[in-house]
Every structure is written in structure tokens, then in C-alpha cells.
């Protein structure tokens, strides 16, 4: 594998343990980076570390501080904070199992691919993976890396498994205050049926490859145009629809979905003719 493991150690369930490695399952860096430029000169703006009433300071004069009262700080030297960091353990203990639907997606943070570290670990790895799959369970564990202890969920994924770090309970805001202004609404049955039909017509298997970051692509085209001295391509105008009511919008949406999003149904089979048998491809 080209990527370096984020973590390596033992996966343990009770008295069963075997060596594993974790690899990041996602990549970052798609966002285009911009710098601040002084427009008259075209030069990059540099930032200075300034203390009010004192002026510029150097980095070796700076320590970390926690504001416990407005304008009042308790300070720490970098070495002091390092001393209280949890030591990195090399055992990933699965201590509990929950149903695959029990964890609200809002708790999921970052995914990692979990793989056996050597050939001898393949068999116990496969046993744990298949048992989780057949029982439709997710294993919960705590793991220490990147200087802190993470709660983690482990689930099967093809031939391997995925470990996803989870947010702790106090890191997730309660939904109630955000939704409390939404009143009780009696939903009209005809509107509900149209909305369900629209969902059915636009339903498809998830394929992330069909979706693109159109904003980043447009910015790249603008950058390339500026470099080459060409005029920037015009952005496509938003489609306009003269919708006069929510019900009208639903009806038109269902009609449009029927035209563009649904594959044509096969023609009715004529009597006396046999359809060719479709064979599934091997593998």
C-alpha cells in the first residue's frame, strides 16, 4: 500500500487479539488556497504577531493561555501540556456492540480502513468481520492517536473493516432548540402522495462518482483563464420555473422526473416469442 498507516497495534475482543493497521479512508486538500495580495503592488501580505501597546513580538516570547475570566489568562509552557497527554496505547479494545442503525450519523467523524497486519491475522480478522456482518452489529472501542483518545465504531466493509471515529456526547449539540419553532402541521394526503412519488422516481443507488464539486471546478476554470489571458467563462444561469404554489411545484416535479429520470419500461412480450435468457457475468 502506498499510504502510511495512521496507527498500528492489536485489535482485541475479550481474550482474542490480532495485529491490525489503520489507513486514512479519505483525502483532503481539494479546496483551492488563496493568499492575501496587496492590490497596488501585487505582493503578498505578511502578517505580524502584535501585542497591543507593545508592538511586534517573536514566537519564542509566546506561550499558550486559557482565558478563565475576561482578559485574565492562566498560561502554560508547551512542555507542560505535553506531559499530560495520554500515552499512545497500542491496543484497540472492542468493549461493546450495537445495532447498525443505532448510531445517529451526526456522531460520525472520520473514517479509516482497518486491515490485518500480517498473514497470520487474516483468519481471526475474517471471523470477526463476518460475525459483525451476520449479526448486523457495530463494535465500539476507544483508541489513542493524534494526541487524544477517540471513541470509535468498527463495521464490516467488503473484505475489510472500517473504523470511524465518533464524536463524544458533549461534542454534539442537541437538536431540540433548533427544531422547536417548527410547529405541528397537518400534511395533506394528496401532497404527501405526490412527494412520495417524486422520491420513488428519483431513487437510485448511491454513486459518489456521479457528483462533482462544481464550485471548485468553476474556480479552476477562472484561474486558468486569468493565467492564459482569456475571458472567464460565463456561469450557467439558474433555471427559472414559474411555480405558483407548492402543489403545482410537486405536480410539475413529478412530471419532469417521469420524463427525464425514469428508464423506459421494456416493451410487452409478444405471444409465442421467448425472451433470451440473461446470464450473469462471472465474478
Q: Is 153 within a domain?
A: yes
Q: Is 167 within a domain?
A: yes
From residue 277, alpha-carbon distances to 96, 267, 272, 280 in Å are: 48, 16, 15, 10
Specify the CATH number for the domain of residue 113: 2.40.290.10
pLDDT in tens, the chain (283 residues): 457 899 999 999 988 999 999 999 998 766 788 899 999 999 999 988 999 999 999 988 999 999 999 989 999 987 787 766 666 678 899 999 999 999 999 999 999 999 999 999 999 999 999 999 999 999 999 988 877 889 999 999 999 999 999 999 999 999 999 999 998 889 899 999 999 998 898 888 888 888 887 778 888 888 888 888 887 667 666 666 666 688 888 888 888 887 654 444 444 444 444 444 444 444 3
Structural domain count, the chain: 1
Q: Is 122 within a domain?
A: yes
- Asked if residues 64 and 81 have their Cβ atoms less than 8 Å apart, the reply is yes
Q: Is 137 within a domain?
A: yes
Q: Is 66 within a domain?
A: no
Say how many C-beta atoms besides its own lie within 10 A of residue 167's C-beta.
13
DSSP helix/strand/coil, 253: helix
Say how many C-beta atoms besides its own lie within 10 A of residue 144's C-beta.
18
Joined together, the cell numbers standing for residue 82 give: 505535553
**DSSP for residue 280:** P
CA atoms within 13 A on the CB side of 160: 14
User: How far is the C-alpha of 108 from the C-alpha of 161, rounded, in Å?
Assistant: 15
User: How far is the C-alpha of 132 from the C-alpha of 98, rounded, in Å?
Assistant: 10
Domain that holds residue 167: 7-26+86-171
Amino acid at each position: 500500500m502506498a499510504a502510511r498507516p495512521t496507527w498500528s497495534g492489536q485489535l482485541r475482543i475479550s481474550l482474542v487479539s490480532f495485529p491490525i493497521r489503520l489507513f486514512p479512508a479519505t483525502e483532503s486538500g481539494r479546496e483551492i488556497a488563496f493568499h492575501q495580495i496587496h492590490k497596488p503592488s501585487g505582493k503578498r501580505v505578511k502578517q505580524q504577531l502584535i501585542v497591543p501597546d507593545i508592538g511586534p513580538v517573536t514566537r519564542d516570547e509566546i506561550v499558550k493561555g486559557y482565558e478563565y475570566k475576561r482578559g485574565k489568562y492562566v498560561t502554560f509552557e508547551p512542555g507542560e501540556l505535553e506531559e499530560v497527554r495520554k500515552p499512545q496505547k497500542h491496543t484497540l479494545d472492542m468493549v461493546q456492540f450495537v445495532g447498525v442503525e443505532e448510531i445517529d450519523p451526526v456522531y460520525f467523524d472520520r473514517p479509516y480502513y482497518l486491515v490485518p497486519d500480517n498473514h497470520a491475522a487474516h483468519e481471526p480478522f475474517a471471523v470477526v468481520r463476518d460475525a459483525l456482518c451476520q449479526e448486523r452489529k457495530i463494535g465500539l472501542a476507544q483508541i489513542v492517536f493524534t494526541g487524544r483518545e477517540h471513541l470509535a465504531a468498527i463495521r464490516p466493509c467488503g473484505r475489510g473493516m472500517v473504523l470511524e471515529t465518533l464524536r463524544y456526547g458533549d461534542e454534539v449539540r442537541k437538536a431540540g432548540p433548533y427544531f422547536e419553532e417548527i410547529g405541528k402541521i397537518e400534511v395533506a394526503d394528496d401532497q404527501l402522495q405526490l412527494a412520495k412519488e417524486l422520491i420513488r422516481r428519483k431513487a437510485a443507488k448511491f454513486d459518489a462518482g456521479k457528483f462533482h464539486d462544481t464550485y471548485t471546478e468553476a474556480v479552476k476554470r477562472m484561474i486558468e483563464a486569468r493565467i492564459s489571458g482569456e475571458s472567464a467563462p460565463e456561469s450557467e444561469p439558474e433555471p427559472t420555473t414559474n411555480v405558483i404554489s407548492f402543489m403545482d411545484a410537486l405536480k410539475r416535479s413529478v412530471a419532469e422526473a417521469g420524463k427525464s429520470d425514469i428508464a423506459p419500461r421494456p416493451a410487452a412480450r409478444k405471444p409465442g416469442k421467448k425472451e433470451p435468457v440473461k446470464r450473469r457475468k462471472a465474478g
